[in-house]
Structure formats: structure tokens, C-alpha cells
């Protein structure tokens, strides 16, 4: 059974995961408005991942005897200066989410809530990829100073990204 403190923290993280979904949808819209469909695709897949993460929190809270609460969040940013700006924002956002997940894990360990720590372990590992993937794109954009060729090459590469549901990944582990 979840402590009141842990239930509150998990519900807050679920809100952040839904916020992340909408942040990446807003970024996809920004890329679509610039006719960069590959970049938009990358962000749409990212949005799907974040929604899946939020629903994982939803399911866990309910299964652990808590009450999942759907909470409002602030309007995500919708305008950017460049693709580099978008990915810089993405990396910073994912670093913040990583800190939040790590703080949740610390709380679970402090409370000796082994079930929640086990649940969060997947997210601890996932956040490594969640930061590394946009960081690689940001690094490439910064190297190319967002020259047209680099932007178009990355756009084609990003168009190939597909969504793999977390449940399938967890079963394979």
C-alpha cells in the first residue's frame, strides 16, 4: 500500500509525464509549421512514449492501492527560435524529469517501499535513453550550425523513428 506521501509524489510525476506528452506535441506542431515532417515525427513518437509513461504511473498507483488523480498542468511552450532551440529545451526537460525520477526512487528507498522502487527502476534506466537520444540530435545540430544540408539529413533520419510500447520492452528484459 502506498503512503500518502508516495501517492502524492507519484500522482505529481504522472502529471509531469502528461505534460511531457503535450510539450512534445507542441514541438511537433512547431516542426510541422516549418515543413520538417521528420523532426515532427520524432516529436510525435516522443509524445506517444510520454503518454505511455503517464499511463504506467496511472496503472501502478491504482494497482498499489492508491488513487490516481489527473491533474492540470501549465501550457507548454509553443514557439522556438530554431530546431537547435527545440532540442536544447528537450534535453533540459528530460534532465529535469530524470531528477524527478531519481528523487522518487530516493523516497521509495527511504520509505522501504520495495514495490515502488522496483516499479521506478524501469524509469531510472529509461531516463538514460530519454536524455541521450535528444542530446545526440542536439550535438549534431550544433556541429552543423543548423546548415540546410544537416537539417535536411537529420529530418530524413528522424522520419524513420517508430514507437515501441513500454510493455513490450519490459517483457523482453
pLDDT digits (tens, 9 = 90+) for 2-14: 999 999 999 999 9
Write the burial class of residue 98 (CB in 10 Å: 0-12 exposed, 13-18 middle, 19+ buried).
Answer: middle
Asked if residues 55 and 20 have their Cβ atoms less than 8 Å apart, the reply is no
Q: Determine which of 9-18, 110-119, 126-135, 148-157 has the lowest per-residue pLDDT on average.
A: 148-157
Q: Residue 110 — pLDDT band, cuts 50, 70, 90? A: very high
- Domain extent listing, the chain: 4-166
Task: Give per-residue pLDDT as tens, 134-160.
Answer: 999 998 888 777 566 777 788 888 889
Locate the DSSP E strands across the chain: none
pTM of the model: 0.87
pLDDT at 149: 75
Quickly name the fold that domain 4-166 has: Ferritin (1.20.1260)
Amino acid at each position: 500500500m502506498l503512503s500518502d506521501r508516495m501517492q502524492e509524489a507519484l500522482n505529481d510525476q504522472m502529471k509531469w509525464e502528461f505534460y511531457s506528452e503535450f510539450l512534445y506535441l507542441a514541438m511537433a506542431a512547431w516542426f510541422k509549421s516549418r515543413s520538417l515532417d521528420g523532426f515532427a515525427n520524432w516529436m510525435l513518437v516522443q509524445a506517444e512514449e510520454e503518454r505511455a509513461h503517464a499511463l504506467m504511473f496511472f496503472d501502478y498507483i491504482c494497482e498499489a492501492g492508491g488513487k490516481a488523480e489527473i491533474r492540470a498542468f501549465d501550457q507548454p511552450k509553443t514557439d522556438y527560435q530554431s530546431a537547435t532551440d527545440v532540442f536544447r529545451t528537450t534535453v533540459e526537460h528530460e534532465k529535469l524529469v530524470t531528477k524527478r525520477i531519481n528523487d522518487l526512487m530516493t523516497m521509495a528507498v527511504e520509505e522501504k517501499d520495495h514495490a515502488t522502487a522496483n516499479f521506478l527502476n524501469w524509469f531510472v534506466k529509461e531516463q538514460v535513453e530519454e536524455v541521450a537520444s535528444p542530446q545526440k540530435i542536439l550535438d549534431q545540430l550544433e556541429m552543423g550550425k543548423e546548415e540546410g544540408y544537416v537539417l535536411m539529413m537529420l529530418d530524413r533520419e528522424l522520419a524513420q523513428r517508430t514507437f515501441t510500447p513500454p510493455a513490450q520492452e519490459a517483457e523482453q528484459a
